[in-house]
Amino acid sequence: MSDSSPTPPPASPDAASTNSEAELKKDQGNEHFKVERWADAVVCYNAAIELDPEKPAYYTNRAACHIKMENHGLAIADGTVALELEKTFAKAYYRRGSAYMALGKYKDALKDFKSLRQLKPTDRDALEKFKAAEREVKREAFEKAIRSDDANEVPITERLDPAQMAVESSYTGPQPSFPLTHSAVLAIAAHLKDQKTLHQKYAMQILIELHKQLKTLPSLVDVPIPQGTHINVCGDTHGQFYDLLNIFELFGYPSETNPYLFNGDFVDRGSFSLEVVLLLFTFKVLYPNHVHLTRGNHETLNMNRIYGFEGEVKAKYNTTMFELFTACFHCLPLAYCLGKMIYITHGGLFSRDDVMLDDIRKVDRFREPPDEGIMSEALWSDPQPMPGRAPSKRGVGLSFGPDVTANFLNRNGLKMVVRSHEVKDEGYEVEAGGKLCTIFSAPNYCDQMGNKGALLRFDHNGEYEVKQFTAVPHPNVRPMAYAGGMQSMFGF
């Protein structure tokens, strides 16, 4: 029986040339990807797509870069386009499902991994991804079923009485008493540096005391910078404890004359997150008016479950301690205003033009962040070079332009926005005509990015110096070592 379908016409020389050039750009992107130059790879894949927008593989290759760069919203969009071009393109389900998992959208991830399994029923990796998503969906359903709606339930910080805990005679570490002293905190830092665990009794006492402090603060805290003084502002530290200690060695430990503000994302990714956040919390207890801590998008339950902090705390302590950390995260302020001039928040600005500082002060932050609104946008948003607003490349929050920054500053009588949330090659980046600065303090992020770290030192006039630094060695524990089965999802 002959095939009566028409024979397609041969490709024109111009079309063949365009396809060849697109493949060349794709190959160049693949070479950049192999050596972890994600941004350069994206540029090449962009060029390939512009030349030939009908190839689903170009979109899934770009999606892989976006996942590495934590631009999960863009990865989801690329996976969706690839599936519109070819509904049975397995890599598109894989990439989009991985991006959904990274955002904690487990039901969406499960659908994609189910489709992937149908396309590749004997693929072991597809089965593992499906099982991981299925576990999370079942866990969420179980937790929803047992969650207490009793408003009178006693908070964990009030149920615990660490004073009654015994300290084993075998424990030889610090035994701090309260009120804390600077030397006691340095002893804790040295103990943690030696990869030893502070006894749970003392860790609990620190967290409970911190919780008492934090819950009295508004969601936006005003911090003066008296004449002749300064304040150091750091960005993400992401569990890089030995780099945190290096910051203190280079620029001074926190004190009443050397205050610090750490702008969120203390935990996850790096596998010394417990040490980072416990030391920062201890310094906050010691110097409540001179150490300031902003909540980041990784001081949230979903992110902690995916990126390692939950697993790390349970490995080094237990579930009770993780619940105690979560209670403290719920109390962290969303923003600070330094010297009535500098607005500091982890992520960025808002979907509305009329947000005033008082609106931020009044936000009910004592919870997990909602999907939208001031709290979510403060934790997740990013700047963009174009005016106006656009959907977030991350899939949460939004992208906001320099005009949005200028309007927010003008309406609130401020000079500058400082935010973190994004790795920068030099440890910082100034945008919006000098009105916005991103600061990032985790050098060689995840042991692979090769970036510098930086902090900003502000004086009483609101002027700042940039202090840069490079990564230092740390014990041989890989990033996301406590993330369970999630490492392979994101290339670790």
Active site residues: 298
Q: Name residue 229's beta-bridge partners.
A: none
Query: CA 208 from chain center: how many Å?
Result: 25
H or E element, residue 413: none
Structure token pair of residue 484: 């369970």
Beta sheet of 464-469, edge-to-edge order? 291-293, 260-262, 230-234, 453-459, 464-469
With beta carbons less than 8 A apart as the criterion, state whether 199 and 173 touch: yes
Q: How far is CA 448 from CA 68, 461, 491, in A?
A: 11, 37, 11
Do you find a cis peptide bond into 8, omega within 30 degrees of 0? no
* Spatial CB neighbours of 33, under 8 Å, sequence gap ≥ 6: 41, 61, 64, 65
Q: Residues 242-264, buried b or exposed e (16+ Cβ, 10 A)?
A: bbbbbbbeeeebbeeebbbbbbb
What tokens were used for 440? 């990032």
Residue 340 in 3-state DSSP?
coil
Among residues 232, 290, 224, which one has the least CA distance to residue 418?
Answer: 232
Q: Please, what is the Cα angle at 311 between 309 and 207, to 5 degrees?
A: 55
Q: In this structure, are residues 453 and 441 in contact, taking their beta carbons and an 8 Å threshold?
A: yes
319-341 burial string, b = 16+ CB within 10 Å, else e?
A: eebbebbbbbbbbbbbbbbbbbb
Q: How many CA atoms lie within 13 A of 273 on its CB side?
A: 34
